């Protein structure tokens, strides 16, 4: 972003697993637990690190919190700069 002339933006890429609305809590919680287990495996971590990612293996609650923070941060960024769909 800095190279593009946009000051004050610290952006990282992140990946998260989402399910469709209405997934039963028990199923969503199990998937979240399994994702954390997989993300902690050394082979998985090595593959991710080789592509430039740092696997965090956040649980469902921490992932949801991070997601909400990112949405709020980027919503504020867009509003502060007066951006809209026409600016694409």
Helix (H, G, I), strand (E, B) or coil at 40: coil
Compute the distance between CA of residue 47 and CA of residue 44 in angstroms, rounded to an integer. 5
pLDDT in tens, 45-67: 999 899 988 888 888 889 889 99
CA distances from 74 to 31, 35, 39, 61, 77 (A): 27, 26, 26, 20, 5
Position 10 confidence tier, pLDDT thresholds 50, 70, 90: confident
Give the pLDDT of residue 56. Answer: 85
Residue 63 · residue 16 · CB < 8 Å: yes
Mean confidence (pLDDT) of the chain:
87
């Amino acid at each position: 972003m800095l190279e593009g002339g946009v000051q004050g933006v610290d952006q990282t890429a992140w990946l998260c697993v989402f399910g469709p609305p209405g997934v039963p809590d028990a199923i969503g919680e199990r998937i979240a637990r399994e994702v954390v287990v997989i993300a902690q495996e050394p082979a998985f971590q090595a593959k991710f690190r080789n592509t430039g990612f740092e696997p965090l293996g956040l649980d469902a609650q921490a992932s949801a919190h991070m997601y909400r923070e990112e949405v709020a941060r980027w919503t504020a960024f867009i509003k502060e700069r007066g951006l809209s769909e026409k600016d694409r």
